[in-house]
Structures are given as structure tokens and as C-alpha cells.
């Protein structure tokens, strides 16, 4: 970073820092450590900087001041997005930096206000457990088949292992119902405990615990008090109300808003700390902590063992994607969050920063296809019931909802946060919630069709709701909308939106035939044929390539859905021309852009990276049209861009390979499953072996009672 950018970051963190110093929260010891990133400084130096006008020396240093004690990538105080580890108990999730710092966590559920948000501002709360003088680990991994994150540390004095996990235990809500739990209870539930354990392997290591929450996205600061008789239990308070508890076999002390502990661990010694909230019960000793960590690992092993994974070298990518999707599902309702975070930037230092902690209907088709294909029917069913419950409650479908079914998701700008590497504004809520997008009817009907094919029956209770959605698509397909990408520019006749209106009518006609309703089947087939003809007549350019919207020659990656949704067969010349045009003209270093920003008025300025989902869509589409070698080469390239923990954000910078946007991103992992399964099935066909386990629901989306629908001109 240059000096100008350092200065800009310091200036942007002033509002938050100012709020904290006015509150009297400038308690720092002579050898204080800040925010868990191992930065030490002299009190006299801080006082000098304070006299020179810095509002808060702590945030000033963390924002990239001249005295960091440890080197960082490009001088940034933030870790690369791809290096975060993702934890989940299916109610709450957390991001853990390589340094051992928890830098994103919200309570009491995934979309709640943050208690740790250092990922968006280095002064917005963090919780570090790690060596006192080392911040770069020797290695990190998930325990195979689990969501238990293991970090190995090497210091000049010795080696140690830290394991982080959000505990899952036996269902315990027997005496009273848990408010908000809409789906059928299962055998396990979140324990509401973040557990961290340490074991010194050899030699000795000085370990440090530092927990400094900043409630409500850094807007409110807490205080600490001991609870119990000793030094191992403490409560974080906001006013006089406890927010969470910290339990450990270390000795806790307080430095203003921070709880700290220090201990030299020698070979064989073990310690733990547990952050608990609500009715969560923390472990009382290390033996209990170890047992509960093992129980949580068993839960994840049992869950992943239900899956039907092909015996293939890419199996681990499928398994980690499945675990990530499970971690992004809010178990009480079955809703799938688009991503675990808010406002991680799509453009470095840019304004394309959004809150993705909501559920989008557009994800539903790929979600159900992916989970049913891999054998996770229960999660697929729960998500299906979540979205169809919403559709039954109100005929006017939205494009997105809160994970508890909330409809109003008002967007708010948090000016007091500096943003990840200075990317502002930081937003919570999402202003797209009340946009008109015509894809909603198609993705809902396709989801019902997938669910029906997986069950070989149609739920009659849902039929009136489905009929309303088909009629809505037929009534509005001629109207412009904001498109699949939720552009904030003018409404257009987006080709993909009209294709998904066709999907609504097509799947509606097939479902009507399944229930013996010939009248509706005929009427909806006629409407589907009209849409099909209009799209083919107006959605292509002179080359026969499907374009972004009517009246333009601009390309859009959403056209890759045309063969994947069965609108036209893969051998149709227009499909082949479209797929190859996108592969050749809408890519940077072979990675696919959503669209060219200079050709699309999306309401924002600046560039954006390649969209990971679109690149995986291209893999699937290339496989469909027979370009298998090209598809495999692109898939191998995309898999090489996975994070060290096999996770994906929303975008990849085609020039640097850096991951951008909210993290981890459900849509990226859903598209990975689709693309990898396309290639695995193709490999199996070529080898003449048995096809991999799991229903081929991708083929089912294009098949149905009227097989001719796929090839209509």
C-alpha cells in the first residue's frame, strides 16, 4: 500500500475510533497487543501520535500505520479473503483468519448484528487465540469430513495445534419449543458454543487469548466482569446485560474492552476456551471440551456419510462444497444463505459491497439439483419447504428473503466502518429485496419439478400456489425487469428473465400433465411456445448468439443457462454459438465475466472480477455441447483457484487469482457441484463404466411428458 492509501484508511476509521475514545476505551498496556494481530508499541509513542492529532492510536496502527511488528501481504492489515476459515453450527457461523483471529461472527443467528467484524474494520471486534509472537501458521486444514478447523503453529520454542469449532450436540429442546424452528427437529442441534482448544506438541509456546467484542457492527462497546469464584469465567456486557460468556482453564484479566490471558504451554499441556451465548452450556474442563469436539466431528462425519459421492479424484471438492452448503443452511427454517458475510468487496477498494446473508430464490434450482444429486435429500426438502411456504403465504414472490422468512430487508450504510481494505460503503440489508425480477417464477417451478421428480409425486396441497405462479409468469413475461443480476439501472427485456418465464410455463405444463390436468397443461404449453418463439426471434444477434437483452449485441453469462435449463438442446447451432461466444469474448484469462461493465448500466462504477459461478456454468455448458476437453481444462483451472481450505468467494480476479466478494459463496459451490458432476458423468460414459450414484436430475429438468419442447425453434 502507498502512503495515500494508508492515509485514506486511517481517515476512514476515524469515526469508529472516535466513538470508542470518547467512551473512554483507550486502555492499553505498555506491551499491549492489538486486535489479535500481534502488534506491539510503546505507550510514549502512542501518546506522541495522539498529541499529533490521531483520534485513536489503536485503530490508526491497525489501519496500516508505520509501526506494524509483523509483515503482511502488500502491507495490508487484512488477510486475503480466500484465507479465512469458515465455521458453522447451522445457526451461527464465523470466519477465522490464519492468525487465529475470529474476524466475523454474528449473534444470535447468521444474519444478526456482529460481535466480531474485524473483516470490515480492524477496530470492529475480534477474538484471537494463538502464539504471542507469531501470526503466520505452519499449516491449516479441516479435519477430513468435518467443519473442525485445525491450525498448526511453529515457533522458535516449539509446536502446537489449535482446533476451532462451533459445537453441535444432541437435540436438547425437549422441555419447551424453540421459537422460530419451523422444520421438523432432528437428532442434533447447535450447542451455541464456539470452542477453541490448544495442545502443545513439543518444546514450549507462549500462548495469548484476546477477546475484544464490538457489538452491533462496531457501534457499541462492551465491558467485562468475572463470574464464578476464579479467573476462568467472564461475561461480556452491553450496559448491564450479559451478551455472551467466556469460559477457559486460563486465567482471564481485563484491559478495558478486552479480555486477555497468557500462558506458557509446554509439551503435552492442553488448554481450552469457549465462547457461549443464549442457553449454550460451555465445557467445564479440557476433558469435557475434547469430548464435545469429538462429538461434533462425529456429527459431521455421520452427515457427510449420507452423501452419494463418486469415487473420483475430484471427490474432495464435492465433499467440501457439500459441507459448506450445509454450513450455510439456517437449520431452524431450512433457508440457504447466499454467503456468510456482508460487504466483502467485489472490486478492491470499490463500491460493489453487498450484504449476502439472505436467501435468494434464484439459488433454489441449483441448490435442489446439487443436494439431490449428492444424496442430501433432507436438506433439499427443507429448503424446498421453506421457499414453497413463502410462496403460499403471499402470491407476490420476492427475489430474496431473510433466513427466517422476513420480507423487508432495508439497506443501511455503515459509515463508521472503514471496509475491507478501504472498500466502502459497508452495507447491511439489501436494497434489491423489492426489485422486480421475472426469474422468480421459473426458479420456483423448476424447483418444484426437481422435487417432484425426486419423489415421483406432486404435493397436491401446493397446486393452487403453483398455478398462481405460472399465471403470474404468463401475465408478466412481456414486461421489462432488472434481470438475474439485479442491476440497479433501467429495466430491460433481459433474455434470461424471459427464458425463466418460459421455464415456469414449461414446468407448469409438465406438472399439470402429471396430475392429469389436461386443460391447464394445454394452455400453459401454448403460452410456453409463444414465449419460446419470441425469445428466439428477439434474443439473438446476427450470428444467432443469445444476447443480454432485446435490442443489444452485448453478451451475458446468464445465457449459459439456456442449455442447462433445457430451453434448447445442446446440439442446436444457436446454443453452440452462444456458449463459444461467451467462452471466447466474455472472458478474462478464460474466466467468465457476468457482463462487460462498460456495456451494462448496472447502477455502479468500477470494474469487477470474473464470476466464479459463471465460469463453472461454462464448464457445464461446454460439456453439454461436446467440448469436453476444453471444459475439463477450464474446470481444472477453476479448481486450482480454490482457497487453501477448498472454499470459494463470489469472484476471482482473472489476473491475480485473488478471490473477491462475500465468502464463502453458496452459488459458487453449487455451480462447482454441477460442473464437476457434468464432467464425472462424461468420464463415466466414455469409460463405459457405471454412472455415479445419485439421480441425474440435471437431465430430468429438460425431460418430461413433452420431449419436443427442447428443440422448438
* Helix 377-393 vs helix 463-476: crossing angle, to nearest 10: 70
Taking the C-alpha atoms of residue 99 and residue 118, their distance in angstroms, rounded to an integer, is 12
Among 384, 291, 340, 280, which residue's Cα sits nearest to residue 94?
A: 340
Burial class (CB in 10 A: 0-12, 13-18, 19+), 683: middle
Q: Which of 41, 59, 43 is nearest to 51 (CA)?
A: 43
Grid cell digits, residue 461: 396441497
Q: Which of 48, 74, 100 is the last residue of a domain?
A: 74
**117 and 45 both lie in a single domain:** no
pLDDT in tens, 194-228: 999 999 999 999 999 999 999 999 999 999 999 98
Partners of residue 587 on adjacent β-strands: 592
Q: 182 — phi, psi (to 5°)?
A: -90, -30
For residue 103, pLDDT over 50 is answered with: yes
Q: Is residue 430 part of a domain?
A: yes
Q: Is residue 339 part of a domain?
A: yes
End-to-end CA distance of the chain: 55
pLDDT tens-digit readout, 532-545:
999 999 999 999 99
pLDDT band at 602 (very low <50, low <70, confident <90, very high): low
At 297 the pLDDT is: 98
Q: Which residue has the higher pLDDT, 506 or 439?
A: 506
**59 pLDDT higher than 90:** no
pLDDT, tens digit (0-9, with 9 covering 90-100), for 154-168: 999 999 999 999 999
Q: Are residues 52 and 120 in the same domain?
A: no
Report residue 575 as a C-alpha cell.
446454443
For residue 275, give Cα distances in angstroms to 245, 283, 544.
6, 10, 59
Q: Is residue 157 part of a domain?
A: yes
| Residue/partner pairs of 297-300 with CB below 8 Å, 24 or more apart | 297/143, 297/146, 297/148, 297/165, 299/168, 299/169, 299/188, 300/145, 300/146, 300/147, 300/148, 300/168
Cβ atoms of residues 573 and 713 within 8 Å: no
**pLDDT for position 692:** 57
* Cα–Cα distance for residue pair 419/416, rounded to 1 Å: 9
Phi-psi region of 263 (alpha: psi -120 to 50; beta: other; left: phi over 0): beta
Residue pLDDT, tens place only, 35-55: 333 333 233 333 333 333 333
Domain boundary among 24, 48, 74: 74
Mean pLDDT in residue range 471-485: 92
Q: How many residues does the chain have?
A: 713
Inter-helix orientation angle 495-514/439-455, to 10°: 30
Residues 68 and 92 in one domain: no
Orientation of helix 315-327 relative to helix 666-687, angle to 10°: 150
Residues 561 and 548: beta-carbon distance below 8 Å:
no
pLDDT mean across residues, the chain: 86
Chain-centroid distance of CA 6 in Å reads: 29
Q: What is the DSSP letter of 223?
A: E
Is 25 inside any structural domain? Answer: yes
Provide φ and ψ at 686, rounded to 5°. Answer: -65, -35
Same domain, 121 and 221: yes
Cα dihedral 254, 255, 258, 262 sign: negative
pLDDT tens per residue, range 676-711: 999 999 988 888 765 554 444 444 344 333 333 333
Over residues 489-517, the mean pLDDT reads 94
For residues 37 and 131, membership in a common domain is answered with: no
Identify whether 312 is part of a domain. Answer: no
Q: What is the pLDDT of residues 345-373, one digit of tens each?
A: 999 999 989 999 999 988 888 888 899 99
Give the position of cell 484491559. Answer: 255
In the DSSP assignment, the letter for residue 284 is S
452 & 578 share domain? yes
CA distances from 293 to 144, 172, 280 (A): 14, 17, 15
Confidence (pLDDT) at 65: 36
DSSP designation for 460: G
Which three three-digit cell numbers place residue 316?
474432495
pLDDT at 664: 98
CATH number of the domain bearing residue 689: 1.50.10.10
| Residue 366, pLDDT score | 85
CA–CA gap between residue 676 and residue 654 (Å, rounded): 21
Q: Are 58 and 34 in contact (CB under 8 A)?
A: yes
Q: Which residue has the higher pLDDT, 198 or 24?
A: 198
Residue 47's domain spans which residues? 3-74
Same domain? For 296 and 385 the reply is no
What are the DSSP calls for 688-709, one per residue? T-PPPSS--HHHHHH-SS-GGG
Residue spans of alpha helices (H) in 515-571: 518-538, 561-564
Helical residues (DSSP H) of 555-665, grouped into ranges: 561-564, 573-585, 612-624, 628-640
65 in Cβ contact with 59 (< 8 Å): no
Q: What is the mean pLDDT of residues 244-258?
A: 97
CA-to-CA distance for 163 and 293, rounded, in angstroms?
A: 9
With respect to residue 507, please indicate whether it lies within any of the assigned structural domains.
yes
Q: What is the pLDDT of residues 634-675, one digit of tens each?
A: 999 999 999 999 999 999 999 999 999 999 999 999 999 999
* 115-119, 446-450, 486-490: segment of lowest average pLDDT: 486-490
Q: Are residues 295 and 344 in the same domain?
A: no
Number of other CB atoms surrounding residue 305 within 10 Å: 10
Tell me the mean pLDDT in the region 459-488. 89
551, exposed or middle or buried, with CB in 10 Å at 0-12, 13-18, 19+? exposed
Q: Reply yes or no on whether the pLDDT at 153 is more than 50.
A: yes
Whether residue 236 sits in one domain with residue 132 = yes
- Residue 109: give its domain's CATH number: 2.70.98
Looking at per-residue confidence, does 105 or 26 come out higher?
A: 105
Q: Is the dihedral of CA 619, 624, 630, 633 positive or negative?
A: positive
The pLDDT, as a whole number, for residue 432 is 82
24 in any annotated domain: yes
CA atoms within 13 A on the CB side of 655: 5
Nearest to 149 by CA among 663, 645, 659, 666: 645
According to the model, what pLDDT value does residue 5 have?
36
Based on its alpha-carbon atoms, the radius of gyration of the chain, rounded to whole angstroms, reads: 26
Same domain, 283 and 396: no
For residue 309, tell me if it sits in a domain: no
Same domain, 395 and 461: yes
Question: How many whole angstroms from its chain centre is CA 455?
Answer: 29
Q: How far is CA 133 from CA 66, 137, 205, 211, in A?
A: 19, 11, 9, 17
Among 44, 74, 104, give the residue marking a domain's end. 74
Q: How far is CA 709 from CA 510, 511, 705, in A?
A: 10, 14, 9
Q: Which pLDDT score, from 0 to 100, does residue 219 have?
A: 97
635 and 622 within one domain:
yes
Domain count, the chain: 3
Amino acid at each position: 500500500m502507498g502512503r495515500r492509501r494508508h492515509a485514506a484508511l486511517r481517515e476512514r476509521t476515524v469515526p469508529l475510533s472516535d466513538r470508542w475514545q470518547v467512551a473512554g476505551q483507550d486502555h492499553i498496556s505498555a506491551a499491549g497487543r492489538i486486535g489479535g494481530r500481534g502488534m506491539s508499541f510503546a505507550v510514549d509513542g502512542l501518546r506522541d501520535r495522539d498529541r499529533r492529532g490521531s483520534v485513536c492510536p489503536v485503530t490508526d496502527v491497525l489501519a496500516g500505520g508505520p509501526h506494524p511488528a509483523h509483515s503482511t501481504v502488500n502491507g495490508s492489515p487484512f488477510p486475503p479473503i480466500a484465507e479465512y476459515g469458515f465455521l458453522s453450527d447451522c445457526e451461527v457461523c464465523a470466519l477465522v483468519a490464519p492468525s487465529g483471529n475470529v474476524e466475523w461472527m454474528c449473534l444470535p443467528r447468521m444474519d444478526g448484528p456482529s460481535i466480531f467484524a474485524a473483516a470490515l474494520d480492524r477496530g470492529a471486534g475480534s477474538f484471537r487465540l494463538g502464539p504471542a509472537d507469531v501470526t503466520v501458521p505452519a499449516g491449516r486444514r479441516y479435519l477430513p469430513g468435518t467443519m473442525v478447523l485445525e491450525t498448526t503453529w511453529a515457533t522458535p520454542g516449539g509446536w502446537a495445534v489449535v482446533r476451532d469449532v462451533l459445537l453441535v450436540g444432541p437435540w436438547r429442546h425437549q422441555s419447551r419449543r424453540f421459537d422460530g424452528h419451523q422444520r421438523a427437529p432432528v437428532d442434533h442441534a447447535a450447542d451455541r458454543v464456539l470452542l477453541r482448544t490448544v495442545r502443545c506438541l513439543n518444546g514450549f509456546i507462549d500462548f495469548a487469548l484476546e477477546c475484544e467484542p464490538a457489538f452491533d457492527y462496531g457501534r457499541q462497546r462492551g465491558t467485562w466482569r468475572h463470574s464464578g469464584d476464579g479467573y476462568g469465567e467472564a461475561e461480556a456486557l452491553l450496559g448491564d446485560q450479559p451478551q455472551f460468556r467466556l469460559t477457559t482453564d486460563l486465567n482471564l484479566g481485563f484491559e478495558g474492552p478486552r479480555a486477555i490471558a497468557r500462558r506458557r504451554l509446554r509439551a503435552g499441556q492442553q488448554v481450552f476456551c469457549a465462547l457461549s451465548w443464549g442457553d449454550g452450556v460451555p465445557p467445564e474442563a479440557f476433558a469435557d471440551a475434547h469430548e464435545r469436539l469429538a462429538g461434533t466431528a462425529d456429527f459431521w462425519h455421520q452427515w457427510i456419510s449420507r452423501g452419494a459421492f463418486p469415487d473420483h479424484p475430484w471427490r474432495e471438492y464435492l465433499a467440501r462444497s457439500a459441507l459448506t452448503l450445509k454450513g450455510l443452511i439456517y437449520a431452524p427454517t431450512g433457508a440457504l444463505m447466499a454467503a456468510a458475510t456482508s460487504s466483502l468487496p467485489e472490486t478492491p477498494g470499490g463500491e460493489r459491497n453487498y450484504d449476502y446473508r439472505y436467501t435468494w430464490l434464484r439459488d433454489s434450482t441449483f441448490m435442489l439439483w446439487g443436494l439431490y444429486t449428492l444424496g442430501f435429500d433432507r436438506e433439499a426438502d427443507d429448503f424446498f419447504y421453506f421457499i414453497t411456504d413463502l410462496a403460499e403465504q403471499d402470491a407476490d414472490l420476492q427475489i430474496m428473503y431473510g433466513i427466517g422468512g422476513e420480507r423487508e430487508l432495508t439497506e443501511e450504510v455503515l459509515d463508521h466502518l472503514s471496509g475491507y481494505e478501504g472498500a466502502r460503503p459497508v452495507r447491511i440489508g439489501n436494497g434489491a429485496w423489492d426489485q422486480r425480477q421475472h426469474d422468480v417464477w421459473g426458479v420456483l417451478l423448476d424447483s418444484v419439478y426437481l422435487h417432484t421428480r425426486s419423489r415421483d409425486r406432486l404435493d397436491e396441497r401446493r397446486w393452487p400456489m403453483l398455478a398462481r405462479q405460472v399465471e403470474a409468469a404468463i401475465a408478466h413475461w412481456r414486461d421489462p425487469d432488472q434481470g438475474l443480476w439485479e442491476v440497479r439501472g433501467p429495466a430491460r427485456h433481459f433474455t434470461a428473465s424471459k427464458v425463466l418465464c418460459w421455464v415456469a410455463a414449461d414446468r407448469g405444463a409438465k406438472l399439470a400433465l402429471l396430475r392429469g390436468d389436461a386443460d391447464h397443461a394445454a394452455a400453459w404449453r401454448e403460452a410456453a411456445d409463444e414465449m419460446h418463439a419470441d425469445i428466439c426471434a428477439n434474443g439473438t444477434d446476427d450470428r444467432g448468439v443469445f444476447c443480454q437483452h432485446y435490442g443489444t449485441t452485448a453478451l451475458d453469462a446468464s445465457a449459459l443457462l439456456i442449455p442447462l435449463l433445457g430451453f434448447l438442446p445442446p446440439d442446436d447451432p444457436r446454443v453452440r454459438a452462444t456458449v463459444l461466444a461467451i467462452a471466447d469474448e466474455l472472458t478474462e484469462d478464460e474466466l467468465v465475466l457476468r457482463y462487460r461493465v462498460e456495456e451494462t448500466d448496472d447502477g455502479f462504477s468500477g470494474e469487477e472480477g470474473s464470476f466464479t459461478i459463471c465460469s463453472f456454468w461454462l464448464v457445464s455448458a461446454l460439456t453439454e455441447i461436446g467440448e469436453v476437453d476444453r471444459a475439463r481444462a477450464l474446470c481444472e483451472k477453476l479448481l486450482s483457484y480454490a482457497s487453501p481450505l477448498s472454499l470459494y468467494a463470489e469472484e476471482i480476479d482473472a489476473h491475480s487469482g485473488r478471490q473477491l466478494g462475500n465468502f464463502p459463496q453458496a452459488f459458487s459451490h453449487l455451480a462447482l457441484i454441477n460442473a464437476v458432476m457434468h464432467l464425472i458423468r462424461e468420464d463415466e460414459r466414455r469409460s463405459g463404466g457405471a454412472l455415479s450414484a445419485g439421480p441425474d436430475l440435471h437431465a430430468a429438468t429438460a425431460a418430461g411428458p413433452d420431449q419436443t419442447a427442447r428443440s422448438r425453434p
